[in-house]
């Protein structure tokens, strides 16, 4: 299956994704710049992405822990999610997300 990730420059990357993997893991393992400091524990909000409008109703709603973490992010907008909380599955084949500035490692921002 495929995950489409739009980077900070607006370039789309089509990444192969495995069933059950977190969106954050796919992004990180393909080498795109994402902090993901807590490794998927929903404890840092450094894997913030924006889910494309066409996909927002197809993924599970954020839970209370994710909503609390998103409250700490300075650049939230419609479609803001923590990519560690979205698990890939066949229904999400083709999911499109955009990396948030707050998820970028310092060296990627410079």
pLDDT at residue 107, rounded to an integer: 61
Between 108 and 84, the more confident residue is: 84
pLDDT attached to residue 106 = 77
Strands laid side by side in the 12-16 sheet: 12-16, 2-6, 95-99, 48-51, 80-82
Q: What is the mean pLDDT of residues 2-17?
A: 97
The pLDDT assigned to 109 comes to 47
**pTM score, whole prediction:** 0.92
Report the CATH number at residue 78.
3.10.20.30
Which residues have CB under 8 Å from 7's CB, separation 6+? 13, 32, 33, 99
d(CA 58, CA 41): 22
Domain that holds residue 80: 2-100
Note the pLDDT tens digit of each residue in 15-65.
Answer: 999 999 999 999 999 999 999 999 889 999 999 999 999 999 999 999 999
The answer to whether residue 105 is domain-embedded is no
Q: Is residue 107 part of a domain?
A: no
Number of domains in the chain: 1
**DSSP characters over 66-90:** HHHHHTT-TT--TTEEEGGG-B--G
Q: E strand or H helix at 28, and its extent?
A: helix 23-29
Quote the pLDDT of residue 84.
96
In a domain, 36, yes or no: yes
59 part of a folded domain: yes
Answer positive or negative: Cα dihedral of 83, 46, 27, 76. positive
Could you tell me if residue 20 is inside a domain?
yes
Count the alpha carbons within 13 Å of 41 in the hemisphere toward its beta carbon: 5
Per-residue pLDDT of 26-36, as tens digits, reads 999 999 999 99
Is residue 110 a part of any domain in this protein? Answer: no
């Amino acid at each position: 299956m495929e995950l489409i990730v739009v980077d900070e420059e607006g370039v789309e990357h089509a990444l192969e994704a495995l069933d059950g993997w977190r969106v954050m893991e796919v992004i990180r393992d393909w080498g795109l710049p994402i902090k993901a400091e807590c490794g998927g524990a929903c404890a840092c909000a450094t894997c913030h992405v924006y889910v494309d409008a066409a996909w927002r109703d197809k993924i599970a709603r954020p839970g209370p822990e994710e909503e609390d973490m998103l409250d700490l992010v300075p650049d939230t907008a419609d479609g803001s999610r923590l990519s560690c909380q979205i698990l890939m599955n066949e229904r999400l084949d083709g999911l499109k997300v955009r990396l948030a500035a707050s998820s970028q490692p310092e060296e990627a921002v410079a």
